[in-house]
């Protein structure tokens, strides 16, 4: 399910300023309209795609920030997912975006969500991701490509309810098909909304011709 929703221009915040008082105004003035078909698609299928969420100017800001963070190696390692990450606490543009997208996240789910964690995922040489579900503190994740051209995410709704050890065994089985699942691309200048804690997902992996980076903005319910 695809939709198109434009956010007003994102303002990169001063790292010391409250998010609601960036340059004397909100980073986003109004939430984009989210239709009933889109919310239903997320509910039934566990994902939804929204194109054109931000401008090319905002996309360039995100790309510059991601490249700068990677160059300075402000990264941490994760046991699941990409080998290198930079968190939103070190990334003011990314942090601003996470708060700017909060009304959209709430409209998509009909839940009172709050930001839980967010980061840039870096793929210097290969964009593969092992089969997994997302962190416990995530009822919705908004994903977007900001550098390079990552391959599609492969979703496995048929594997819902499996624990990580079971997912590892499935992927390590000789009969595992890396091209299996529902392949979902990252929308242009937009987001892939995913119930990643419920829907297992992986990326088959291919060599990266240049540094590739994907943002992952996680939201959780208050109760």
Q: Kindly state whether residue 16 falls inside one of the protein's structural domains.
A: no
Q: Quick one: what percent of the chain has pLDDT higher than 70?
A: 80
> Quick one: pLDDT at residue 83?
55
The structural domain count of the chain equals 1
Q: Quick one: what percent of the chain has pLDDT higher than 90?
A: 71
Q: Kindly state whether residue 22 falls inside one of the protein's structural domains.
A: no
Split at pLDDT 50, 70, 90, the class of 222 is confident
State which of 8-12, 18-22, 49-53 shows the largest mean pLDDT.
Answer: 49-53
Is the pLDDT score of 117 beyond 60?
yes
> Quick one: pLDDT at residue 171?
96
Specify whether the CB–CB gap between 178 and 220 falls below 8 A: no
47-61, 77-91, 109-123, 149-163: least confidently modelled range:
77-91
Q: Kindly state whether residue 159 falls inside one of the protein's structural domains.
A: yes
Q: Kindly state whether residue 55 falls inside one of the protein's structural domains.
A: yes
Listed residue (167, 94, 91) closest to 129, CA to CA: 167
Specify whether the CB–CB gap between 54 and 7 falls below 8 A: yes
> Quick one: pLDDT at residue 223?
78
Q: What contacts 55, CB < 8 A, 6 or more positions away?
A: 6, 9, 10, 189
Residue with the two structure tokens 């969500």:
113
Q: Kindly state whether residue 65 falls inside one of the protein's structural domains.
A: yes
Kindly tell me the burial class for residue 112, based on how many C-beta atoms sit within 10 Å of its own C-beta (0-12, 13-18, 19 or more): exposed
Average pLDDT of the residues in 86-109: 94
Total-model pTM: 0.84
Is the pLDDT score of 165 beyond 90?
yes
What SS3 class is residue 38?
helix
Condensed to tens digits (0 to 9), the pLDDT of residues 76-97 reads 444 444 458 899 989 999 999 9
> Quick one: pLDDT at residue 208?
92
> Quick one: pLDDT at residue 63?
96
Split at pLDDT 50, 70, 90, the class of 22 is very low
What's the CATH number where 126 sits? 2.60.120.620
Residue with the two structure tokens 């409209």:
107
Taking every pair of C-alpha atoms in the chain, what is the biggest distance, in angstroms? 58
Split at pLDDT 50, 70, 90, the class of 18 is very low
Average pLDDT of the residues in 2-6: 49
Domain hosting 176: range is 2-6+46-221
Q: Kindly state whether residue 11 falls inside one of the protein's structural domains.
A: no
């Amino acid at each position: 399910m695809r939709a198109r929703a434009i956010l007003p221009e994102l303002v990169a915040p001063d790292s010391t300023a409250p998010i609601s008082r960036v340059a004397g105004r909100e980073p986003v003035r109004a939430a984009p309209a989210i239709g009933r078909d889109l919310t239903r698609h997320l509910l039934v299928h566990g994902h939804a795609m929204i194109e054109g969420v931000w401008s090319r100017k905002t996309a360039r800001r995100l790309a510059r920030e991601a490249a700068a963070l990677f160059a300075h190696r402000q990264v941490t390692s994760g046991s699941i997912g990409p080998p290198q990450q930079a968190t939103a606490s070190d990334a003011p543009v990314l942090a601003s975006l996470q708060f700017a997208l909060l009304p959209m996240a709430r409209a998509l789910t009909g839940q009172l969500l709050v930001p839980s964690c967010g980061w840039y995922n870096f793929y210097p040489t290969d964009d593969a991701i092992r089969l997994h579900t997302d962190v416990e503190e995530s009822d919705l994740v908004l994903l977007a490509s900001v550098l390079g051209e990552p391959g599609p995410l492969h979703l496995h709704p048929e594997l819902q309810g499996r624990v990580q050890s079971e997912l590892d065994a499935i992927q390590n089985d000789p009969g595992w098909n890396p091209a299996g699942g529902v392949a979902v691309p990252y929308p242009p200048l937009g987001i892939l909304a995913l119930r990643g804690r419920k829907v297992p997902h992986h990326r088959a992996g291919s060599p990266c011709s240049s540094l590739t980076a994907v943002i992952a903005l996680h939201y959780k319910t208050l109760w």
